[in-house]
Structure 1
Amino acid sequence: MTTTPRTALTIAGSDSGGGAGIQADLRTFFANGVHGMTAITAVTVQNSLGVQGFTEIPAEVVTAQIRAVASDMGVDAAKTGMLATAEIIQAVAKTLDEVHIGRNAAIPFVVDPVAASMHGDALLREEALEAIRTELFPRATLVTPNLDEVRLLTGVEVTGRESQREAAGALLEFGAQWVLVKGGHLYEDPECTDLLSDGVQCIELTGPRHDTPHTHGGGDTLASAITSGLAKGLGVPDAVEAGKRFIERSVAEAYPLGAGVGPVSPFWRLAHDQPGAAAGR
């Protein structure tokens, strides 16, 4: 008899280039053996060269998607990505309470606070940043900001291990259970150290830094890999460790696509001896 897999819900924007957003989340869920479900918050117009524009989905449509899958199919873990506006963030937070997702319920909730581009540019207005702080962080099992998002959310400029710990403390003050301060943008650190903390434990996760320009969707992929682990019943430290190793390999096998920045690749989880697997383009 076929076994139904665990389920994970991503609440995020769509990437027309397929490298990040909803598309990256779904392929990461699949690669980790989890059934992915979606609540799409925005439709972006983008490719490997960047984002040319986006259209927000009405907040009531976003929340209707969440209610539809939660009431029928069930959710074992959930994550957010691009939420676009304060209105959407507030509506999502209220709906998560309705369907019992978040740190005060039994269903783990990961917040990837997509607030800055890969070049460090702000993607959200201050009112939306404040909504992330006040509406999402208190409900979060785990938040996973990069260093530019840390700066926008807390004002802390991370330059090394000591300020990374300072940033973790500042983020925890917003109410999340755990924070993961990612070190991928701390380029002078050869160990690519991420710091996981709940205010009592501080766990440093190190790994190789791969020399590739192709890192599109890396943050989404990491958050989705962690969410997959939580959906399968792992505790936060174990889920983060598994997610860290998944993204390391995905970056190592990133591929060029288009004229700009190519995506990280979860395809390494597929058997290399499948027909056509090594054919290329």
Structure 2
Amino acid sequence: MTPARILIIAGSDAGGGAGIQADIKAVTALGGYAMTAVTALTAQNTLGVQGVRGVEPAFIREQIRSVLDDLGADCIKTGMLHDAAVIDAVVAELDARANTVTVVVDPVMVAQSGDRLVADEAMAHLRDVLIPQARLITPNIPEAEALLGRPIDGVAAMPAAAEALLDLGCQAVLLKGGHLAEEVLEDVLATRQGITHLRHGRLTTTSDHGTGCTLASAIAEGIGRGLDLEVAVRRGRDYLQRALETAVPLGHGHGPVNHGHTVMPFGLTPEPQ
């Protein structure tokens, strides 16, 4: 069986917990084939972001063309797009293919450590030119507030906020509620057909770096293999939940999740459940 081909257009995380590295791990662990176009390099670890170096937009376009002209893609997932020129480069390549590939947009703006990764003008440009092309966007609460320009006051306000994000032109929104102080973590999936509430128990862990990247890539892999959107979202959330549950602490800050929990090392057998 041919694996789902997922092209990830995002920044690199030197620490391996988020960004391109997390995306590749998630897609691979779920049986897909990950390809990349790197938009930026970061000096980053579990404690924060120490430096960012952008890739020239023309070379980002060259990476995208190189992959799509040969290997093709069943879904494209975007992550860190740090300025307007980078967003224009991505949109130009999508336009050149008449929007024939499904796009999942993770509007990455702030790292887990709180470090800002994207300028305000880039956020506005993302909202205006890329989000309208998306099959799905996956903002957390701070990202949604930035896109909407207003606060989201608790779980009760999430459905209306998700519908407002839908009005930006995308086909679906997964608004993630993890930043809210609730015992039960609630996400809201909004489509033109209505609202679906998705819930998981909240875990107490510091191994939560890269959760947004991981979830969006897991969902993109599901979409790429032809799953219904809600099924792909539920599958991605379940994969991430298990990755959080089984993570081993690494580093001195917010460590990575266990992306490889679906894969057994050679010669080992699964532990009884």
Tell me the TM-score range normalised by the shorter chain.
Answer: over 0.9
1:171 aligned partner: 165
- Deviation for aligned residue 1:271: 2.0
Residue 133 of structure 2 corresponds to residue 139 of structure 1? yes
Q: CA deviation at 1:277?
A: 9.6
Residue in structure 2 matching 1:87, options 85, 89, 94:
85
- Report how far residue 178 of structure 1 moved: 0.1
Tell me the CA shift for residue 254 of structure 1: 2.1
Moved more, 166-175 or 81-90: 166-175
The one of 189, 195, 202 aligned to 1:196: 189
* Paired residues of 2:155 and 2:180 also in contact (CA < 8 A): no
What displacement does 1:204 show? Answer: 0.5
What is the aligned partner in structure 2 of residue 228 from structure 1?
Answer: 221
Give the structure 2 partner of residue 70 of structure 1: 68
In structure 2, relative to structure 1, the CA distance for the partners of 1:53 and 1:277 (3 Å cut) is farther
Distance 2:111 2:161 in 1: 19
1:125-155: CA deviations, max 9, x gaps? 2210111111111100000001110111112
Higher strand share: 2
- Aligned residue pairs, count: 271
* Aligned equivalent of 1:158: 152
Partner of 2:180: 186
Residue by residue over 1:81-113, the C-alpha shift from the partner in whole angstroms, topping out at 9 and shown as x without a partner, is 001111000110111121344xxx3x2210000
TM-superposed deviation, 1:207: 0.9
Where structure 1 has 5 or more consecutive residues not aligned to the other structure, the ranges are: none
- TM-score w.r.t. the length of structure 2 is 0.94
- For residues 16 and 99 of structure 1, the distance between their equivalents in structure 2, rounded to whole angstroms, comes to 32
- Structure 1 residues 52, 120: closer, same or farther in 2, change over 3 A? closer
Aligned residue in 2 for 1:207 = 200
Which residue of structure 2 lines up, in the alignment, with residue 96 of structure 1?
A: 94
User: CA offsets, 1:151-201, max 9 Å, x none?
Assistant: 1111232232321112112211210100010011112x2220100001431
Is 1:112 equivalent to 2:106 in the alignment?
yes
Distance 1:7 1:68 in 2: 14
Contact 1:225–1:246 under 8 Å retained in 2: yes
Tell me the amino acid that sits aligned with residue 138 of structure 2: T
Tell me, what secondary structure is at the counterpart of 1:247?
A: helix
Tell which deviates more after alignment, 18-27 or 109-118. Answer: 109-118
4+ runs deviating over 3 angstroms: 119-122, 272-278
2:131 partner letter: F
SS in 1 for 2:68: helix
Contact kept, 8 Å, 1:120 with 1:148, in 2: the verdict is no
Give the superposition deviation at 1:123.
2.7
- Structure 2 gaps, min length 5: none
Which AA in structure 1 matches 2:80?
M
Q: State the superposition RMSD in angstroms.
A: 1.8
- Aligned-residue sequence identity (percent) comes to 42
1:119-130 correspondence runs (5 A) = 119-120=113-114, 122-130=116-124
Quote how far apart the aligned CAs of 1:256 are: 1.3
TM-score w.r.t. length of structure 1: 0.92
